[in-house]
Amino acid sequence: MARPAKIRLVFTPIGCAVLIITVIMLVRSLINRNAYEIVLSSAALFLLLVLGVIGLWKSRKLKLLEPGWKPPYPMIANAGYDEQRHTLITGLFGSIPLFFRLHFVIKGRFFPGSLKGFPMLVETSVPRGDTSVKLPLDFPMAGIFQGNGFCQLRDIFGFFSFNCGLPQQKTINVRSLPCFGRKTYINAQTGAEDQRNKPAADIERYYMREYTPGDRFRDINWKSSEKLDNLITRISTDNQEKVSRIEVYFRNFGPVDSDNNRERRSSLDALWLLDRAKARLSYFLRSLMEQNSSFIFDVRAAEGSWEIQNLNELDAFLEELAGLTFSSPQNETTQTGAGEIFVFSTACDTILPFFISACNPRPVSLFLVQPARQGSKTKEQREEIETLLIGDFLQKGCVPSLRMLRKNTKWLNANSSNGRVEMFYADTAFIRRIKFNTLKLQAAGRHTESRL
């Protein structure tokens, strides 16, 4: 249960500066017997005293205020300024005196994968007479946010700030910004089939639907398909179609953020690679489940394993995926079988080539997120780079440590001799890059058109 906030008079930095200047001016005016400065400094002190007394009295009246803040579900990173994705603040009842405004503040720490996290502070002013307001709470990447939401009563001059009401603590899982790309199609013929014995009369009972990738070819009704000029599949009413069990490995191995191993402390560029790997895995699972709801996913990570059979289990897994961080590299074994393995990893996974070699002869589809290499990128690669702007942290009220701004992630050479490899590129930058060559060409084109 949340404890009530301690009510105490707080001077803002501006209020402290005004108080000090006013006291110095008053002492100086008394020494010099300057009547004009005495009146001016006394009026300023009187204004501070009146505002302080009114604010303290009203904050005590609002000590039982119970504001609630409800973030959107699911919370997506970099959601932008869409009002539907804003956090709803309710329960802001009570009259506010003149020259004062009620502010709602959310303060806490954001953990995008680092051990200590980043301090974060966002706030909004409540319009007079409103009992609810929306706060644009946003995050630069996936992670976990732990914070308190509370009210502050402030004067319009910015001299005082009084805590009031009951604070409410929440823990929010922040999912990665969704990514899109080419969909992956899997043939269900390699999956495990339900072999339950059924009477012949039950097998004859089925219904028809259009063919979708993953259906068994022997279930296609060729006569109906020829008449309708479209592939039609027979589906049994008791779900006798083939079920594929897809084996997925999310290798979140990399630099560990711990005080005992400072040289391997994770940086922002490494955390951004992990964030993009989470986004690729989320898109992979959702797209395949939309193709065929009979797929069963066995997902393995450093923290454990999950079996995903439906959308509810997928949603629960994505909530846990948002909080996964880097783990120390360790040897990992695969299950026995002959099916294809799908691996999602980053360039921080230095033992990835050994894992792929250990999977032989099973086919491996590798989805690897690499740092952007400036010297050897093609035009297509430059356009596909997903960039994290450091300025977005400050814009969203989050302050990263300077130690995490360094770039120390190297390119990883990994390939699958018995499968395929899809590369994705991610980078960090302080400001958005401007394509000067494109601007020059556009300017030259406009100049040529004007001459013609």
Query: Is residue 94 located within the same domain as residue 212?
Result: no
Regarding whether 202 and 78 lie in a shared domain, the answer is: no
Q: In whole angstroms, give the CA distance from residue 193 to residue 188.
A: 9
pLDDT at 255: 79
Check: CB of residue 18 under 8 Å from CB of residue 47.
no
**Which tokens is 353 given?**
């080539």
- What single letter denotes the amino acid at residue 426? A
Q: Is position 155 within any domain?
A: yes
How high is the pLDDT of residue 335?
A: 65
Q: Positive or negative, the Cα torsion across 210, 213, 218, 222? A: positive
249, 294: one domain: yes
What is the number of other CB atoms lying within 10 angstroms of the CB of residue 437? Answer: 8
- CA-based angle 294:298:302, to the nearest 5? 160
The reply to whether 199 and 315 lie within a common domain is no
Please give the pLDDT value at position 210. 74
- What confidence score (pLDDT) does residue 274 get? 92
- Owner of token pair 């504001």: 67
**DSSP for residue 218:** G
93 assigned to some structural domain = yes
Residues 214 and 253 in one domain: no
Same domain membership, residue 318 and residue 293:
yes
CA distance 352 to 433: 32
Q: Residue type at 27?
A: V
CA 204, chain centre distance (Å): 49
Alpha-carbon distance of 426 to 246, in angstroms, equals 27
* Helix H or strand E segment including 120: strand 118-126
Between the alpha carbon of residue 106 and those of residues 71, 112, 183, 439, the distances in Å are 11, 17, 39, 41
The answer to whether residue 292 is domain-embedded is: yes
Residue 77 · residue 140 · CB < 8 Å: yes
**What pLDDT does residue 383 have?**
59
Neighbouring CB atoms inside 10 A of 92's CB total 21
CB–CB of 330/253 below 8 Å? yes
Is 133 part of any domain?
yes
Do 356 and 255 share a structural domain?
Answer: yes
* Residue in 340, 306, 357, 362 with CA at minimum distance from that of residue 185: 340
164 and 229 fall within a common domain: no
Q: Calculate Rg over the CA atoms of the chain.
A: 30
Residue 57 and residue 162 in one domain: yes
- Looking at the domain assignment, is residue 122 inside a domain? yes
Nearest CA-CA partner of 140 in 367, 440, 390, 307: 390
Domain membership of residue 351 (yes or no) is yes
Q: One-letter amino acid identity for 147?
A: G
| Residue 29 included in any domain | yes
Number of domains, the chain: 3
Q: What is the mean pLDDT of each run of 10 residues along the chain (452 residues)?
A: 51 91 92 90 93 92 90 87 82 89 93 81 90 90 92 92 91 90 62 41 53 70 76 61 77 71 66 92 91 87 89 92 86 69 90 85 88 60 76 85 76 75 85 45 36 32
pLDDT at 314: 93
**Whole domain around residue 223: which residue ranges?**
195-236
291 and 373 fall within a common domain? yes
pLDDT for res 115: 66
Q: What is the pLDDT at residue 5?
A: 43
The pLDDT of residue 437 is 39
Amino acid type, 189: Q
| DSSP code at position 220 | B
Shared-domain flag, residues 322 and 257: yes
Return the pLDDT at 26.
92
Q: How confident is the model at residue 420, as a pLDDT?
A: 82
Q: Tell me the C-alpha distance between 161 and 14, whole Å.
A: 11
Asked whether residue 6 is domain-assigned, the answer is no
In this prediction, residue 2 carries a pLDDT of 45
Specify whether 166 is located in the same domain as 31: yes
**Using CA of residue 207, residue 211, residue 217, residue 223, what is the dihedral sign?**
positive
Diameter of the chain measured on Cα atoms: 112
Please list the alpha-helical segments (H only) found in 91-230: 200-203, 222-228
